[in-house]
Amino acid sequence: MRRPLIGITCYHREGVARPRFGVPASYVDAVRAGGGRPVLLPAGDDDPAALLDAVDGVVLCGGGDIDPSRFGGAARHDAIYATCSERDGFELALVQKCLRRGTPTLAICRGLQVLNVALGGDLHVHLPDVVGESVAHRVSREHHTRHLVRIDSSSRLAAVLGAAEVMVASWHHQAIDRLGAGLRAVAWAEDGTVEAVEVESSPAMLAIQWHPELQFHEPDRRQLRLFEELMALARRGA
């Protein structure tokens, strides 16, 4: 069976003497485990559409925060970190192209937020200020945590995962506030935080707030199914 070529977005430029682009190896490993061949898509390319000509699908990965100026948010909050205009501009343009072309896409954590902002939605800039801490969405910048997510049983996501309730790896302090145009919330944490959305006009877009790349190796295989579904969509679209 052909292995689709999957572009994975990178974190922002890091370093001073020798700036570099990078991405956690777990995204690469999860794409391979799902049946794909990963390639990295660093920010800064002025023609995202041309990049999509070269790949069969895209993973919009997590990482630093979207600058609140992109969605009319607060000018500053002490919890905001690692904003990058280059990355924001590139990924907002890239996800718009993915939507227009129907490119199979798995949007993870920040990736879901990029999708929402690209469609005119906005974000809670620091989730604990809004929902409190009854659910631990993030315990630190170094370690993820876990919590339960409820999924709309009629959603495509529930069909892919084969479940209406899952325990997920969580590592975020921002989340969707107002939904972007054409998006439907299909999963929620116990405190009401939106944990997944679907695009009414694009069945090739999977968008979740948690981190399946940290769980793809688990025995029940549910999170691996997200990457396998991306590969199935990519094969059909190629």
Nearest CA among 73, 62, 71, 87 for reference residue 125: 73
Question: In the annotation, is 109 catalytic?
Answer: yes
Question: In the annotation, is 217 catalytic?
Answer: no
Residue-level pLDDT at 85: 96
Angle at 220 between CA 216 and CA 226, to 5 degrees: 45
The yes-or-no verdict on residue 74 having pLDDT over 70 is: no
CATH assignment at residue 160? 3.40.50.880
Among the listed residues 10, 109, 124, 195, the single catalytic one is 109
b/e per residue 139-160 (b: at least 16 CB within 10 A):
eeeeebebbebebbeebebbeb
Kindly report, residue by residue over 132-142, the tens digit of the pLDDT. Answer: 999 999 887 77
The domain total for the chain is 1
Question: In the annotation, is 211 catalytic?
Answer: yes
Kindly report, residue by residue over 127-186, the tens digit of the pLDDT. Answer: 999 999 999 998 877 789 999 999 999 999 999 999 999 999 999 999 999 999 999 999
Q: What is the mean pLDDT of the chain?
A: 95
Residue-level pLDDT at 213: 98
Adjacent-strand bridge partners of 132: none
Range of the domain at 96: 5-237
pTM of the predicted structure, to 2 decimals? 0.96
Confidence of residue 68 (pLDDT cuts 50, 70, 90): very high
Cα distances (Å, whole numbers) of residue 211 to 18, 49, 80, 161, 205:
29, 26, 19, 14, 16
Kindly report, residue by residue over 80-96, the tens digit of the pLDDT. Answer: 999 999 999 999 999 99
